[in-house]
Structure 1
């Protein structure tokens, strides 16, 4: 896919090498899903620079390994913006305006970032990244993360909401209650909001069923 786009194959090879062996929540497969989500949104939103969307989605998590190695003290979005610029230049991109645009997309894609996406292309990648936290993959990723930190497989709403991040009670259900169920309202494109609502409804049904079974 997109093999006819200049630089795509070279940049993708770098990203795959950097992320393929990463943790399941933010590995190369996640990047592939974000690209697909970005394309889905862009087809409806019609951004001016579709290639910036593609490269922004491809490079959005390029500095995840550095953030993980730092124990979270480094911001992968801020660090990734500069790293994306270097990768694009090394691949032969001479369009500095395009490089800066992609860099801005990477820098502003993070949920907890301090700078909001300012362009249609950046808003599309922001939404595509958040979509992967919802729906069936959202459920899978939430349980994967909870397992990595040794959290309970499930707990009550009271226990979940009364707990801290990275604690024994930081379950997948807690992630849904404190963050994921609110994501549809925080999407920045109309298409992103519609897709997010559909996926959030699936998560609501899933956790309702989980709670029902827990009480049997």
Structure 2
């Protein structure tokens, strides 16, 4: 069975998704991870496996154990990889890449492959798709779109637990400087440019 089909089958049969962390998100992360790996090097087998399986467990943003999602995903991925013809010596590296991809987990990536997967996942929070996903999550959590008196945090600290647009300032605009690889940094800067254009248009409209 082709590798891509094998991973898809596992995800569809064994995992639950939310609208911002669905199969399409995973496929975008795989694509970005492969692009970065082509530029930066690294073991593509590890990168692809970790990218495909990084969200095999996803807890909601407001779940008390949200920060443990990537640990649980790593355990689930290891069990799956050990059940198929995947090199045993590479499983632990896949698990580390999965555990370290999460922003909320706070685990430092120590391998190039883990850095690539973390970068690829963070890229999917930026650009046009990043705007769409941010608004989807904010709506699902029933958060207001923006603070009416100061929508763009010009004279207040952002609070994305209340206002969705605040998430741009509290987290998303900081991601380019947190990228591990030069390739991802360049892609992130370009995506941030679009997001600022979106906010500029939003400012005109409101």
Paired residues for 1:156-167 under 5 Å: 156-158=151-153, 161-162=156-157, 164-167=159-162
Partners of 2:118 and 2:155 in 1: CA distance: 27
Q: For residue 131 of structure 2, what is the aligned residue in structure 1?
A: 139
Contact 2:153 2:166 (8 Å CA) reproduced: no
Paired residues for 1:162-201 under 5 Å: 162=157, 164-167=159-162, 170-171=163-164, 173-201=165-193
SS where residue 197 of structure 2 aligns? helix
Partners of 2:28 and 2:55 in 1: CA distance: 12
TM-score under structure 1 length normalisation: 0.85
Matched, 1:82 2:75: yes
1:42 is matched with which residue: 34, 37, 40? 37
Contact 2:56 2:77 (8 Å CA) reproduced: yes
Contact 1:56 1:125 (8 Å CA) reproduced: yes
Mark the CA change 1:129 to 1:69 in structure 2 (over 3 Å): closer, same or farther: closer
Over aligned residues, Cα RMSD in angstroms? 2.2
2:24 is matched with which residue: 26, 29, 43? 29
- CA displacement at 1:61 relative to structure 2: 0.7
Matched residue pairs, number? 202
SS where residue 157 of structure 1 aligns? coil
Mark the CA change 1:34 to 1:83 in structure 2 (over 3 Å): closer, same or farther: same
Mark the CA change 1:158 to 1:104 in structure 2 (over 3 Å): closer, same or farther: closer
Matched, 1:11 2:3: no
Q: Unaligned regions of 5+ residues in structure 1, if any?
A: none
Contact 2:153 2:169 (8 Å CA) reproduced: no
